[in-house]
Amino acid sequence: MVRVMVVDDHPIWREGVARDLEERGVEVVATAPDGAAAVRIARAVRPDVVLMDLQLPELSGAEATAQVREALPDTQVLVLSASAEQGDVLGAVRAGATGYLTKSAAMEELVDAIGRTAEGQAVFSPGLAGLVLGEYRRRETEAPDEPQLTPRETEVLRLVAKGLTARAIAARLTLSHRTVENHVQNSLRKLQLTNRVELTRYAIERGLDVDE
Amino acid sequence: MTTADVSLRARAHPHLVPLWRGLVVYRVVALVAVLVNAVRFGGAWAHPALGIAVVVAMAVWTAVSSARYLRVGDPLTACLDLVLTVLATASTLLVDTPERVAAGGSVITTVWSAGPVLALAIALGWRGGLGGALVTITVLFGVRRALDADLLFDAQLLLVAGLAVGLAADTMRRSVEKLRAATALEAATAERERLARDIHDGVLQVLALVRRRGAELARVDQEAPALELARLAGEQEVALRRLITSAPVAGPDGTVDLSSRLAGVVPAHASLAVPAEPVMLPVAVVDELAAVVREAATNAAAHAGPDAGLWVLVEDDPAQVTVSLRDDGVGIPEGRLEQAAAEGHLGVAGSMRGRVQGLGGTIDLHTAPGEGTEWEIVVPRRRRSSWSA
C-alpha cells in the first residue's frame, strides 16, 4: 500500500483529504501544517508520496519539496495546490516535485495520481504541461546553454497541454504508450537538473543516446 | 475672479510649480532691469510721464500675474500676459523718439518681455513657447524696424528659452502621468494580491471541501442532492479561482497579459494551460484574441455535446503567440463549414477567421466526426522584445 503524507496549512482541508484518502484505501501516515514540520516529519516517517500544498507558513512548498527530495531521494512529491500562482508551481517542479494537481481535481484523479507518483511516473495536468512548455520557451532565448526540449518532447507536451491522454498521444504520434511516458518524464527531469554534475551527466547521456 | 475663487480652483499640474516659481523670480529680476534702464535713459525719452506710467503698470502686472502663476498657472493668464507685454513693448514708440529706437536704443520692456514666452512654454508646452517667442520677436521687429545683430540675438534667445522651457514642461507632465499610472497599478495589484490571499485561505478551501465531501456522500449513500451540491460548489470554486487570477496584468506601454484575460473568458470547466510569465500583447490584440476564444468556446459548448471537455493552451514565442483550443466532442463533418459559408452563413469560422486575419495571424481548424475540434490560432508579435533580438 502507498504511504502518503498530507501537507497543508488549512486544518479543514488537511483532515478532509486525509479522511477521503483513507476511505479509498490509501494509507495516510502523517500530516503536517507547515513546510518546516513537513521536512521534519517526513524524515521520521519516510512516506512514499508527499502531497504538498504550495503556500505554506515557515517554509514554502517549493523549499520544503527541495529539502524532502534531498533528504529522502525515494520519496516522491505531488503538488496539490489551490494556488493558481504559476511561478510557485514551476518552482516546486524545479525543486523536484514530479506532479501537480489543483485542489479542484476529482478524488479518483487524486488517488490515481498518487499511485502513479509512487511508481515514479510524472503526473502532468494540462496546466503543468503549459507551464513547462513556457519555461522551455523562456530558456530558448534567455538560457540557451541549459537543457532544451527535443522537438518530439515539445510535440508530446503540447498534446498533454491540450488534454490528450498518454494513450491518445501514443495513437496520434504512432508511438508506444511507454515512449510517450518517457518523453513526458524526461521533460520534467531536465527541468530539475540544477548543478554542474547533473548537467554533465545529462550531457554525456545525451551524447550516448542521440537517436532518441 | 476673486482670491477665494482662485484658491478654490484645483491646480491641474502641481508638479509644474517649481517652473512657475522660476518664472516669477525671473520676472522680478527683469523688472529691476527695467527700472535701471528707465533711470539711465528716462531723461532722454520724448514723453517721460508716459514712460513712468508704463513702468508702473508693468510693476503692477508683475505682481498680479506672479500671484496668478503661483496659485493657478493657467494658460489664460499667460495669454493675457503676452498681450499686455506686447502692448508695453509697443508703447516704446510713443515714449521714446523713433530715431533713438531705430538707432539701437533699448525697448522700454527690455528682458521683461521674455516673461510671457516662458509662461506660455510652461502652460502649453513647446508649442506655447514657440508661439510666444514668434509673437514677441515680431513685435520687437515692428518696434525696432531694423533686422540688426541685436534683434537677431534677442530672437535666438527667445526661441531657445521658449522651446527649452516648453520641452521641460512637457517632459515633467508626461513623467508625472506615467508615475501616477504606475502608482495606481501598483496599488491595484497589491489589493488584488491581498484579496487573492484571503480568498485562498478561506472561501476556496471550504468550497473545495464541500465539493469533495458532497461527492463522497453521493458515492457512499447515493444521495443525489449531495452530488448536486458538490457540483455547484466545484463550479464556484473554479470560477472564483479564475476570478482572483484574471484581473488584467497591465504593462507600461499599453500591453496587457493575454493569459489572465483568457482566464476570465474560458468556461469554468475548461482547462487553461499558460506559461508562468505573463504573455504581454497590445490591448487591441488581446481583446480580439479573447473574442475569438470566446466564440470558439461558445461554439464548442453548443455543438460538441454535453460531456465534451475543452482545453486551451497559450504559448509565447519571441516572434509569435499561439493559442490552441481543443474539445473532445462530436467534431464537425468534413465540408460542413465550407457548406455553411457557401450558403451565406458567415458563422463562427468566418467571424473567427476575420478577426485573426485582422491581426495578421493565421487560424487552422482540424476536425473530423467523432474526433473533436482543434483550433490553432497564431498571431505574430509586432515588436520583438529587446532580449530576444
Per-residue pLDDT tens for A92-110?
Answer: 888 888 888 877 777 888 8
Domain of residue B350, CATH code: 3.30.565.10
Mutation choice for B interface testing from A60, A85, A88, A104 by most B CBs within 10 A: A104
Q: Which of B178, B210, B225 is the last residue of a domain?
A: B178
Query: A188 and A173: one domain?
Result: yes
Domain count, chain A: 2
Closest Cβ opposite residue A87 in set B209, B212, B276: B276
**Would you call A137 and B317 a contact, using CB atoms and an 8 Å cutoff?**
yes
Query: A108 and A187: one domain?
Result: no
Grid cell 502531497 in the structure block, residue: A51
Query: A52 and A69: one domain?
Result: yes
Query: A131 and A91: one domain?
Result: no
For chain B, positions 231-260, list CB contacts with chain A under 8 A. Answer: 234, 237-238, 241-242, 244-245
Region A188-210 average pLDDT: 62
B240 in any annotated domain: no
For A11, name the nearest residue in chain B, comparing CA atoms only.
Answer: B205
Q: Which of A98, A123, A148 is the last residue of a domain?
A: A123
Q: Say how far apart CA B266 and CA B268 lie, in whole Å.
A: 7
Q: What band does A11 get if pLDDT is binned at 50, 70 and 90?
A: confident
Q: Which of A123, A138, A173 is the last residue of a domain?
A: A123
Query: A109 and A174: one domain?
Result: no
All three cell numbers of B9: 480652483
**Any B CB within 8 A of A115 CB:** no
Closest Cβ opposite residue B388 in set A107, A141, A161: A141
Give me the pLDDT at residue A201, please. 62
Top-confidence residue, B4 or A55: A55
Region A15-32 average pLDDT: 87
For chain B, positions 303-322, list CB contacts with chain A under 8 A. Answer: 309, 311, 313-318
- Tell me which DSSP letter residue A195 carries: S
Query: A102 and A147: one domain?
Result: no
Q: Which of B178, B194, B214 is the last residue of a domain?
A: B178
**Would you call A162 and B209 a contact, using CB atoms and an 8 Å cutoff?**
no
Say what the pTM is. Answer: 0.60
**Would you call A13 and B209 a contact, using CB atoms and an 8 Å cutoff?**
yes
Domain of residue A30, CATH code: 3.40.50.2300
Domain that holds residue A160: 127-208
Grid cell 497541454 in the structure block, residue: A161
Beta bridge partner(s), residue B323: B314, B377
Burial of B382 per CB tally in 10 Å (0-12, 13-18, 19+)? exposed
Domain that holds residue B126: 3-178
Query: B168 and B288: one domain?
Result: no
Structural element, H or E, at residue A7: strand A3-7
Query: A50 and A144: one domain?
Result: no
Query: B174 and B275: one domain?
Result: no
Give me the pLDDT at residue B388, please. 36
Task: State how far the alpha carbon of B337 is from the alpha carbons of A159, B54, B349, B353, B363, in Å.
Answer: 25, 84, 7, 12, 14
Q: What average pLDDT is seen over chain A?
A: 83
Region A36-50 average pLDDT: 90
B117 in any annotated domain: yes
All three cell numbers of B275: 506559461
B231 in any annotated domain: no
The answer to whether the complex's ipTM is over 0.85 is: no
Residues in chain A within 8 Å Cβ distance of B296: none
Q: Which of A123, A143, A161 is the last residue of a domain?
A: A123
Kindly give, in sequence order, each residue whose CB lies less than 8 Å from that of residue B109, ignoring residues fewer than 6 positions away. Answer: B34, B58, B85, B88, B89, B92
**Any A CB within 8 A of B323 CB:** no
Give me the pLDDT at residue B386, please. 39
Region A40-54 average pLDDT: 90
Give me the pLDDT at residue B3, please. 41
Query: B137 and B275: one domain?
Result: no
Domain count, chain B: 2
**Would you call A162 and B326 a contact, using CB atoms and an 8 Å cutoff?**
yes
Query: A110 and A137: one domain?
Result: no
Q: Say how far apart CA A4 and CA A103 lie, in whole Å.
A: 16
- What single string gives the DSSP state of each residue in B19-70? HHHHHHHHHHHHHHHHHHHHHHHGGG-S-HHHHHHHHHHHHHHHHHHHHHHH
Give me the pLDDT at residue B251, please. 67
Q: Which of B145, B178, B211 is the last residue of a domain?
A: B178
Mutation choice for B interface testing from A22, A111, A162 by most B CBs within 10 A: A162
Q: Say how far apart CA B19 and CA B249 lie, in whole Å.
A: 35
- What single string gives the DSSP state of each residue in A146-172? S----HHHHHHHHHHHTT--HHHHHHH
Closest Cβ opposite residue B273 in set A90, A130, A135: A130
Show contacts of B85-88: CB within 8 Å, 24+ apart.
B85/B109, B85/B112, B85/B113, B85/B115, B85/B116, B85/B136, B86/B113, B86/B135, B86/B136, B86/B139, B88/B54, B88/B57, B88/B58, B88/B112, B88/B113
Residues in chain B within 8 Å Cβ distance of A20: 212-213, 216
Query: A107 and A149: one domain?
Result: no
All three cell numbers of A121: 511516473
Structural element, H or E, at residue B119: helix B115-124
Query: A136 and A39: one domain?
Result: no
All three cell numbers of A25: 484505501
Query: A94 and A133: one domain?
Result: no
B243 in any annotated domain: no
Q: What band does A145 get if pLDDT is binned at 50, 70 and 90?
A: confident
For chain A, positions 7-46, list CB contacts with chain B under 8 A. Answer: 10, 12-13, 16-17, 20, 23
Give me the pLDDT at residue B5, please. 42
Q: What band does A144 get if pLDDT is binned at 50, 70 and 90?
A: confident
* Other C-beta atoms lying within 10 Å of the C-beta of residue B199: 17
B270 in any annotated domain: yes
How close B354 gets to chain A, by Cα (Å)?
A: 24
Digits of tens for pLDDT over chain B (389 positions)?
Answer: 444 444 334 456 778 888 999 999 999 999 999 999 888 888 888 888 899 999 999 999 999 999 999 888 888 999 999 999 999 999 988 888 877 777 767 788 888 999 999 999 999 999 999 999 999 999 988 888 877 888 888 899 999 999 999 999 999 888 888 888 788 777 777 777 777 767 766 777 788 888 878 877 777 777 677 778 887 888 787 777 777 665 556 666 778 888 888 888 888 778 888 888 888 888 888 888 988 888 888 878 777 776 778 899 999 988 899 999 998 877 776 666 666 666 655 566 677 888 888 888 888 888 777 778 888 999 998 754 433 33
User: How many residue contacts between A and B have a Cβ separation below 8 Å?
Assistant: 112
CB B316, CB A137: distance < 8 Å: yes
**Any B CB within 8 A of A131 CB:** yes
Domain of residue A164, CATH code: 1.10.10.10
Query: A16 and A43: one domain?
Result: yes
